[in-house]
Structure 1
């Protein structure tokens, strides 16, 4: 964003102090990452009050700062915009800037796979267009407007991740972004404690169509029955289903995993073969959304094939890493829910990368009253005939440990409530060049701390 300070003041229709003719070249909520020319936005938190850092921001080159009107003692003789609520002001700036952009916005939501799908979509488009995407997990009511305001005016496609924990949140985000294309990757069990059921999750995710442009298109997981009644509310030319089932407009078959990634064939709207440098059939399914958006952007099969071959996903999404003892780790430890846990374990069972297969699993969080059941059900996907050993971390994984004690030899099963070291020691004497190890757990479990001991 490059706007005159006076223009931003007019957007917000607020009182000002000390404004000068200066161009604002971005926004910042953190003085440590602030760049000269940024507009600083202070928030009042329980422990930190951003207003205490306004002068630091200005000394570091900020063009101006917002100031909450009921915050006492604003500094004199510096450029300030007085607002009722800095968060609401940030969101209003994003809406105003969005209206001025010719950028095609793409919104992506789903219980699992949002970030991977964002990376795949951006990767397909990037060789041919100027593309920007959500960085990190800036996918909420603060992160999304910050992402919009970070867009260059020349950006042709903006790929935005949209997260939520309750009803109304996706609707709020999509009405701010007004996407031309929207994607729902799947419906899982994350946030069950807030939404009550998978039906509630489906309803919350489908809010993404509330901001869809009139000429917009929804791409959604056609294998998910809970999305069918919601999709029925859209006309046929505004929705496209993708998935494993042949009834989908774009379906996938013949998935083959190699140490280089996944090879697969699609049929329906397009009949072609593709390769992605990512493991897992669930990642192949995510790539279907990227293929469909590539087609909508006017790319042909050869162009999409070329870009998919070199796409790069954010770390800890089925990321292959070779250990110092030549074991292979599949680092899928960014997050976990029952559906993504099952998908990752399905890959581990099916892969032929190595003959000895090990599972290192951490707690799945935010599952509500059914969390014990969901952890115990993971036992159905773990059998000693296929999995050499199981390593469990976290208090909730004790439930799974108790279920597995009768299935696995004691030498092939270990659980630790809150310490990594016993698990690292246990693995270090068992892993070798014949081993492939899956790491899968919720972000709060930080399973990468186990991996660090081996690479």
Structure 2
């Protein structure tokens, strides 16, 4: 964080100082909520959770070097005490962002937010120091903490914004007002909470409504290939840039294809020129993510060649998102287990199918180890059934559906589509899936692991990678 005195922090958040001998002392380190992340100069934010109360760690964090604690009650060590710690954190973030003067880029969407954010960050880092949301810390706590990690050297601040209802994104834009706003897509993630795609579009569009006018530098970047996103153009006073594969898009891709490894390649077109891109990431869905990042970079003055070079060098910054690892025995594990919704499931299966061409040349097979997609409401049965059917249509070698009712719908969809007898199977839990795969995998096989975060299927990928490290493999 940029250096601020405790007196200035108290004034910004409307708090009272307690046990602070010298209010001019400055916070020079990071603002953190995890006591394990405290370093000399930090400000520790004490949240009172259901199981852990951060106030109980106050003495320990000060001993570890924290300058003070942002708290809701006196804690016996230097503290700025406020009525509402979360709102105080947001007020501090807004103050720092305004004082910093960096260009703030905000993005939202139903699927691909984190991957797109990671691409934007890596491209912009070619131009100037960039701070971005780590992982998926995109809510009312994670977003201000990310903003507060910016320093005097930061020129670009890339913030992912999530929403679970109407008004959430509007609130986040009040904490960190963006100049550039990007909406990736409107899908079915959290449709059970929102009630429908139109309601999701209403919530996501709050981002472009919050942008400054075109005359004040505001820019909305919208997906031309998604009708609900494209329609958001009328909801903003900002300049509008469209991206996509549509010929009408300002930033578009032509000659899109996948390499034999499943990595996308295409010709990037921007208003300033064209250049070829071959990505290190896996799956054709990353083309849209790359175009979104390219549109942001173009708006910030990068040439087509600069953007293409950066996109071709970019990797995955966030764990468990299409992490591709080849074991010493020749089995490839694709760990995409961080989260899942119908759109990302379809994209991952298509990526697996593309990788399958190379695996079959080695005598290998493709495996889809899939679990529940959460928060789909009344659409849950139909969406799980459709994913199971798609696995068959894409000629995935074997579907392993893991878990309870929703997993049985996946397997049933595959069976009803004309599944290959025992080539689709339903197992009770992650350990059963691991046991099955350990007995069946052979060199050249490619295994995709994917489900909603609550299922915890990353344990399957981790167990299979550990098995490969031990040198175990079936002789089949």
Alignment TM-score, normalising by the size of structure 1: 0.93
Partner deviation per Cα, 1:290-346 (whole Å, 9 max, x = no partner) = 111111221112211222222121222222211343122222222110111112222
Is 1:47 equivalent to 2:51 in the alignment?
yes
* Partner SS state of residue 151, structure 1: coil
Q: 1:67 to 1:122 in 2, by over 3 A?
A: closer
Structure 2 unmatched ranges of 5 or more: 466-476
Aligned to 1:353: 358
Structure 1 unmatched ranges of 5 or more: none
Q: In structure 1, what is the Cα distance between the partners aligned to 2:202 and 2:120?
A: 24
* Partner SS state of residue 353, structure 1: helix
Query: Which of 414, 420, 432 is the matching residue for 1:409?
Result: 420
Query: Which of 370, 386, 407 is the matching residue for 1:397?
Result: 407
Deviation at 1:353, TM superposition (A): 2.4
Query: Which of 238, 261, 264 is the matching residue for 1:262?
Result: 264
Q: In structure 2, what is the Cα distance between the partners aligned to 1:427 and 1:289?
A: 37
Q: 1:79 to 1:267 in 2, by over 3 A?
A: closer
* Partner SS state of residue 459, structure 2: helix
Root mean square deviation of aligned Cα:
1.9
Is 1:13 equivalent to 2:14 in the alignment?
yes
The ranges of structure 1 where at least 4 consecutive aligned residues each deviate by more than 4 angstroms after the TM superposition are: none
Q: In structure 1, what is the Cα distance between the partners aligned to 2:344 and 2:394?
A: 22
Spell out the pairing of 1:114-133 with structure 2 (5 A cutoff). Answer: 114-133=113-132
Q: 1:213 to 1:154 in 2, by over 3 A?
A: farther
Is 1:185 equivalent to 2:184 in the alignment?
yes
Q: 1:328 to 1:8 in 2, by over 3 A?
A: same
Q: 1:176 to 1:441 in 2, by over 3 A?
A: same
Spell out the pairing of 1:43-442 with structure 2 (5 A cutoff). Answer: 43-68=47-72, 71=73, 74-76=74-76, 78-214=77-213, 215-234=217-236, 238-258=239-259, 259=261, 261-267=263-269, 269=271, 270-313=273-316, 314-351=318-355, 352-355=357-360, 356-383=365-392, 386-395=395-404, 396-406=406-416, 407-417=418-428, 419-442=429-452
The 8 Å contact of residues 414 and 423 in structure 1, kept in 2 or not, is answered as no
Report which stretch shifted further, 93-102 or 268-277.
Answer: 268-277
The 8 Å contact of residues 275 and 305 in structure 2, kept in 1 or not, is answered as no
Q: In structure 1, what is the Cα distance between the partners aligned to 2:34 and 2:353?
A: 44
Q: In structure 1, what is the Cα distance between the partners aligned to 2:323 and 2:62?
A: 41
* Partner SS state of residue 367, structure 2: strand
The 8 Å contact of residues 175 and 210 in structure 1, kept in 2 or not, is answered as no
Q: In structure 1, what is the Cα distance between the partners aligned to 2:183 and 2:392?
A: 32
Partner deviation per Cα, 1:380-438 (whole Å, 9 max, x = no partner) = 31227722111111211111212323422333121123x22322232234332332222
Q: 1:260 to 1:363 in 2, by over 3 A?
A: closer
Q: In structure 1, what is the Cα distance between the partners aligned to 2:415 and 2:390?
A: 14
* Partner SS state of residue 190, structure 1: coil
The 8 Å contact of residues 324 and 454 in structure 1, kept in 2 or not, is answered as no
Partner deviation per Cα, 1:69-104 (whole Å, 9 max, x = no partner) = xx4xx355x422221111111111111111101211
The 8 Å contact of residues 335 and 443 in structure 1, kept in 2 or not, is answered as yes
Q: How many residues are matched?
A: 448
